[in-house]
Amino acid sequence: MNLLVHVHKGVRKHGFEMATRQAWKCGIKANLVKRVIGVAKGQVVCVIEGIRPELSTPLNNPLHTEEKQGRYVFVGGVVWEPNDLLAPGFPDFMFMHVRNLGARHKYMTDDELFVNLA
């Protein structure tokens, strides 16, 4: 399962990776997520594969605040950012645009993701 998140607000302060990992209101469905995809202005800008969700605490989230209590942060995994363009294993869908993405984060299977890429 993939989790697509909007990262436009946190990118300037924290960069693509931390903006993508940050505390999201996911609920129990977060345990099914294997890949988090950061999307800015409809375009894929960060991919983190092989992650595990944990409830945000000061120990696992350096940006934890009281308002992030009860939200999930995604820990571990392999991070792919635009600067990793020449690295082996770089995702084929990086820099592509995502259709049918509303204002909130969205769960998609691999098949749904590839159908919605443009």
> DSSP of the chain, one letter per residue?
-EEEEE-TTTHHHHHHHHHHHS-B--GGGGGG--EEEEEETTEEEEEEES-EEEE--TTT-TT--GGGTT-EEEESSEEE-GGGTTSTT--TTTT-BBSS--SS-EEE-HHHHHHSB-
Q: Which range marks the domain in which residue 85 is found?
A: 2-116
Is the pLDDT reported for residue 36 higher than 90? yes
pTM: 0.87
For residue 86, is pLDDT > 70? yes
Number of domain units in the chain: 1
Higher pLDDT, 28 or 49: 49
